[in-house]
Amino acid sequence: MMVGVKQRYRYRLYRHPHQQVALAKAFGCARVVWNDALAKSRELYAAGEKSSYPVLAKLCITQAEQTPERSWLSGPSVVLQQSVRDLDQAFRNWWASLSGKRKGPKVRAPRFKKRRCAQSIRFMSHVFRTGERSLTLGKIGTVPIEWSRVLPSDPSSVTVIRDASGRYFASFVVEVEPKPLPANGKAVGIDLGLASLAVTSAGEKDRPAEVSALCAEASPASAAAPQAQAERFPPPCRCSAEGGSTSASIADKRLDFLHQLSTRIIRENQTVVLEDLNVSGMLKNKQLARSIADAGWRQFRTLLESKALQYGRQLVVINRWLPTSQVCSTCGHHDGKKELSIREWQCPSCGAVHDRDINAALNILTAGLAESQNGRGAAHKSTALVAAGWEAPTHPIAEASPCPA
Ligand SMILES: [Zn+2]
């Protein structure tokens, strides 16, 4: 029997004016409890002790409510408890990722939540109820919802989000039956870049001018976020890189575009090969615009992972750095380093003329196919690639983490 695939389904919420205060309070209290519990966990670990949900809930909710500094702490207790549970889980995910027990993209350590960022509270299934045009949340009340598509199954939880521009959303976690598509034997390699978000080995440069312009518009804002420079991969935090309603619509359009692109790629191909972001992002892009691209790539990869699971496709992520821009995809000749400004080059060995990104995508495909066939039936090209100084790629990604919190 196949296991269901967890997915998120998101809908627009329209709160009643009188619910604004209750919601704002719940967001604020959940955030403070999360931050207190995070600070406390760090203290405990620094002292060599272990933090756990019961300990944190006692310290940061029950006992905190008795202190003058936190006497105002109210809001639905289930929401506060959930905040501590989620923090506890975030720590576990992080450790599992560090130790290699958790597959998929690396999980970051839990971070403090900021007031100016998107706010969220989570309700487990026993404290919310869905109605024909509404969502009833424990201690908050009945909130109008726009069911833009049908929920495929009973949700296990809902996260209520207020984005940086003040819009409300309900994001449900549901289990979806996998619907494997008929195998078609096709394979594609994808090169992730800045000029084009995704270039395929089939020669498609998948980023409409519109999306390109939208992202360029969003990049100056990212320059204002100092953490974007300090960290290799800033969190996909909507407000550090993008603030206000203009950016919210940019983010919406980008997500829309990524949805369409990932669906099409998964439908058309049996095997999809990507380079690991930790490698490709670090080496190829040194500009600030990278932080915007990072967020897009992460979203894109997450979408590809969850759709691959749902439709029975294979996603291969090559984890090791390969000189994809330096090797001729036709003959395997290693032509040395190429500046980013060189968009096209001719192989001195076989004479093939290459578009830089398409050539890279072809090399990614070859490496991924060699990997997925486990070296057995590796194409002659891959032998040439290894001879040209490529290392054998590792770790096909069989499972994904389709629903990041
Ligand atoms: Zn060549």
pLDDT digits (tens, 9 = 90+) for 303-362: 898 889 889 999 998 876 778 888 999 999 998 888 878 889 999 999 999 999 999 999
Q: Are residues 268 and 377 in the same domain?
A: yes
Give residue 347 CA to ligand 1 midpoint distance, Å: 5
Residue 243 phi/psi, 5-degree rounding, is -135, 155
Tokens of 32: 């403070």
Q: Are residues 51 and 22 in the same domain?
A: yes
Tell me the CA distances in angstroms from 314 to 107, 181, 379, 382, one per residue in order: 22, 11, 18, 19
Of residues 341 and 228, more confidently modeled:
341
Give residue 325 CA to ligand 1 midpoint distance, Å: 12
Kindly compute the dihedral angle of the four CA atoms of residues 55, 60, 61, 67, in this order, to the nearest 10 degrees: 130
Give residue 334 CA to ligand 1 midpoint distance, Å: 8
Residue 128 has pLDDT above 80, yes or no: yes
Tokens of 296: 């897009």
Q: Are residues 139 and 212 in the same domain?
A: no
The H-or-E segment that residue 357 falls in is: helix 356-372
Q: Are residues 225 and 367 in the same domain?
A: yes
Q: Are residues 125 and 66 in the same domain?
A: yes
Give residue 369 CA to ligand 1 midpoint distance, Å: 20
Q: Are residues 251 and 376 in the same domain?
A: yes
Catalytic choice (86, 294, 357, 371): 357
Least confident of 96-110, 155-169, 366-380: 366-380
Catalytic choice (86, 191, 206, 276): 191
Residue 4 has pLDDT above 70, yes or no: yes
Residue where one domain finishes, among candidates 176, 205, 235? 176
Give residue 171 CA to ligand 1 midpoint distance, Å: 49
pLDDT confidence tier of residue 235, bands split at 50, 70 and 90 = very low
Instruction: Give me the chain's average pLDDT, please.
Output: 78
Residue where one domain finishes, among candidates 154, 176, 198? 176
Give the Cα separation of 252 and 270 in Å (integer).
28
Give residue 327 CA to ligand 1 midpoint distance, Å: 8
Boundaries of domain holding 71: 5-176
Residues 374-403 pLDDT 10s: 643 333 333 334 333 333 322 222 223 333
Q: Are residues 160 and 213 in the same domain?
A: no
Give residue 361 CA to ligand 1 midpoint distance, Å: 15
Provide the 10 A C-beta neighbour count for residue 262: 22
Give residue 106 CA to ligand 1 midpoint distance, Å: 36
Q: Which residues contact 196 (CB under 8 A, 6 or more apart)?
A: 205, 206, 207, 212, 357
Q: Are residues 215 and 129 in the same domain?
A: no
Give residue 341 CA to ligand 1 midpoint distance, Å: 20
Give residue 242 CA to ligand 1 midpoint distance, Å: 43
Give residue 189 CA to ligand 1 midpoint distance, Å: 19
Residue where one domain finishes, among candidates 176, 204, 239? 176
Q: Are residues 35 and 138 in the same domain?
A: yes
Q: Which residue type does 302 have?
A: T
Give residue 346 CA to ligand 1 midpoint distance, Å: 8
Q: Which residue type does 241 have?
A: A
Annotated active-site residue 191? The verdict is: yes
Q: Are residues 203 and 320 in the same domain?
A: yes
Q: How many domains does the chain have?
A: 2
Tokens of 253: 């359009």
Catalytic choice (163, 242, 275, 276): 275
Which long-range contacts (C-beta less than 8 Å, at least 24 apart) are formed by 244-250? Answer: 244/164, 244/165, 245/165, 245/166, 247/164, 247/165, 247/218, 247/221, 248/163, 248/164, 248/165, 248/167, 250/214, 250/215, 250/217, 250/218
Of residues 33 and 218, more confidently modeled:
33
* DSSP-derived secondary structure for 225-275: -HHHHHSSS----HHHH--HHHHHHHHHHHHHHHHHHHHHHHHH-SEEEEE
Annotated active-site residue 357? The verdict is: yes
The Cα diameter of the chain in Å comes to 77
Closest CA to 356 of 132, 203, 176: 203
Give the Cα separation of 120 and 122 in Å (integer).
7
Q: What is the pLDDT of residue 121?
A: 95
Q: Are residues 146 and 286 in the same domain?
A: no
Q: What is the pTM of this model?
A: 0.68
Q: Are residues 217 and 353 in the same domain?
A: yes
Q: Which residues contact 242 (CB under 8 A, 6 or more apart)?
A: 164, 218, 221, 222, 248, 250, 251
Give residue 271 CA to ligand 1 midpoint distance, Å: 25
3-state secondary structure of 27: helix
